Amino acid sequence: MPFTVPPGSGKRVCIGGGANFIGSHLAKTLKQNGYHVICVDWVQNEFMKPDEFCDEFILGDLRQLSVCIGATKDCVHVYNLTADMGSMGFIESNQSVLTYINTSISINMLEASHRSLR
């Protein structure tokens, strides 16, 4: 069953990690289905311009709660596809740092999503 909303309904959704491969393709699909898509990432998508896959692109660091709160404001859905990663060698030698960063981002996105419901 397709994941659709009535065309032009404009319901706001936020995608953390929206510049990555999966995030940008999810954003593009949601945008084509009538959602107002807000993508947040600390890098630009190197293959697509933001207007090709989202309505708003925020170049921001999701380790900052204020960035998460601003991005998720009035959103009906929030997707967190963010992950600080690297090569296997980098991941193996930085496990605790990456775990801390990725957990912090997840907590911030959860808190911001919760605040958005109020």
What residue spans define the domains of the chain?
Answer: 12-116
Global confidence as pTM: 0.87
Assign a CATH topology to domain 12-116.
Rossmann fold (3.40.50)
Looking at residue 32, its pLDDT comes to 94
Q: Kindly state the average pLDDT of the residues 32-61.
A: 95
* Cβ atoms 23, 44 nearer than 8 A: no
R_g over Cα of the chain = 15
Checking if the pLDDT of 8 tops 60, the result is no
For the chain, give the percent of residues with pLDDT over 90: 71
Cα distances (angstroms) measured from residue 51 to each of 19, 21, 55, 95, 111: 12, 15, 6, 35, 28
Q: How many CB atoms lie within 10 A of CB 8?
A: 7
**Tens digit of pLDDT for each residue in 67-81?**
999 999 999 999 999
Looking at residue 88, its pLDDT comes to 82
Cα distances (angstroms) measured from residue 96 to each of 88, 102, 110: 14, 10, 21
* Cβ atoms 103, 62 nearer than 8 A: no
> What SS3 state is found at 65?
helix
Looking at residue 76, its pLDDT comes to 93
Looking at residue 29, its pLDDT comes to 96
